[in-house]
Amino acid sequence: MWKIIFLVVVIEVCVISCEEDPIVCIDNGCIRGKSFKGNQKAFEGFLGIPYAKPPTNELRLKDPQPTVEKWNDVYNATEEKMFCMQKNYFLPNPTVSGVEDCLYLYIYRPKNVMRNRRKLLPVIIYLHGGGFFAGTAGPSITGADFFMDTEDVIVVTMNYRLGPLGFLSTGDINMSGNFGLKDQALAIKWTKDNIKAFGGDASNIALMGQSAGASSAHLHMMSSPKWSRNLFHKTIMLSGNGNGPYFYVIENPLKQAKEFAKAIGIKDYDEMQSEELAINLRRVDPEILIRACDKLKIWSIDPLTISRPVVEDCQTHNGFLCNNPVEIWRSGDYVRVPMLTGFMDGDGGVRALAILENKTQLHDLNERFDELFPKLMEIENKSSEMNFKHLNMIKKRYFRGISEISNETSNDLIRIYTERSFITPLFNTLSQHVQQDKKTPAYLYKFSFNSSLSYSSFFTGNSKNYGAVHCDELIYLLKSPAIFPNQFEQNSIESKFRTKFVKFFTDFVANGKPNKISGKAVRQCEALNYKSTNPSLKCNIVEFGNDFTMKLTGEIDPTIAEFWNNIDPTMMGTKEDSLVSRNEVFQIFKIHSGHTN
DSSP string, 545-558: -TTS-EEEE----H
The DSSP line for 328-339 is HHHHT-S----E
**HSE of 464, CA atoms in CB hemisphere, 13 A:** 10
pLDDT at site 387: 78
Closest by Cα among 482, 447, 477, 378 to 91: 482
Q: Does residue 390 register a pLDDT over 80?
A: yes
**Residue 112's beta-bridge partner residues?**
none
**Residue 342's beta-bridge partner residues?**
238, 445
Closest by Cα among 242, 235, 475, 466 to 347: 466
Domain residue spans of the chain: 2-325, 344-586
pLDDT at site 388: 85
Q: How confident is the model at residue 574 (pLDDT cuts 50, 70, 90)?
A: low
pLDDT at site 535: 59
Q: Name the strands in the sheet holding 29-32, side by side, starting at the edge strand that comes first in the sequence.
A: 23-26, 29-32, 75-76
Q: Is 411 helix (H, G, I), strand (E, B) or coil?
A: helix
Q: Which of 190-204, 341-355, 523-537, 558-572 has the weakest average pLDDT?
A: 523-537
Q: Where do runs of H (alpha helix) occur along 135-196?
A: 145-148, 163-167, 179-194
The residue among 5 and 166 whose pLDDT is bigger is 166
Q: Does residue 583 register a pLDDT over 80?
A: no
pLDDT at site 533: 53
pLDDT at site 383: 64
> Do 2-325 and 344-586 show the same overall fold?
yes
Q: Does residue 596 register a pLDDT over 60?
A: no
Q: Does residue 46 register a pLDDT over 70?
A: yes
Summarised one tens digit per residue, pLDDT across range 77-117 is: 999 999 999 999 998 889 999 999 999 999 999 998 877 66
What is the distance, to the nearest Å, from the Cα of residue 345 to the centroid of all Cα atoms in its chain? 17
CA distances from 75 to 25, 190, 192, 309, 515 (A): 10, 16, 20, 34, 40
Residue pair 82/69 in contact by the 8 Å Cβ criterion: no
Q: Does residue 592 register a pLDDT over 70?
A: no
Closest by Cα among 247, 224, 230, 243 to 316: 224
Residue pair 108/117 in contact by the 8 Å Cβ criterion: no
Summarised one tens digit per residue, pLDDT across range 271-302 is: 999 999 999 999 999 999 999 999 999 999 99
Summarised one tens digit per residue, pLDDT across range 167-195 is: 999 999 999 999 999 999 999 999 999 99
pLDDT at site 529: 61
Q: How confident is the model at residue 386 (pLDDT cuts 50, 70, 90)?
A: confident
Q: Which amino acid is at 545?
A: G
Domain 344-586 listed as CATH 3.40.50.1820: yes
Measured between alpha carbons, how far is 6 from 214 in angstroms, rounded to an integer?
Answer: 24
Closest by Cα among 338, 537, 569, 579 to 432: 537
How large a percentage of the chain has pLDDT more than 90? 76
Measured between alpha carbons, how far is 410 from 25 in angstroms, rounded to an integer?
Answer: 55
**HSE of 58, CA atoms in CB hemisphere, 13 A:** 1
CA distances from 455 to 257, 465, 517 (A): 33, 10, 28
What angle do the packed helices 359-367 and 369-376 form, to 10 degrees? 110
Terminal-to-terminal C-alpha distance of the chain: 42
Write the CATH number of the domain with boundaries 2-325.
Answer: 3.40.50.1820
Summarised one tens digit per residue, pLDDT across range 195-251 is: 999 999 999 999 999 999 999 999 999 999 999 999 999 999 999 999 999 889 999
Q: Which amino acid is at 570?
A: T
> Phi and psi dihedrals of 180, rounded to 5?
-60, -40
**C-alpha dihedral, 488 to 494 to 495 to 497, nearest 10°:** -160
Measured between alpha carbons, how far is 274 from 282 in angstroms, rounded to an integer?
Answer: 12
Question: Quick one: average pLDDT of 442-458?
Answer: 91
Burial class (CB in 10 A: 0-12, 13-18, 19+), 10: exposed
Residue 239 has what DSSP assignment? S
Q: Is 129 helix (H, G, I), strand (E, B) or coil?
A: coil
Closest by Cα among 405, 421, 409 to 358: 405
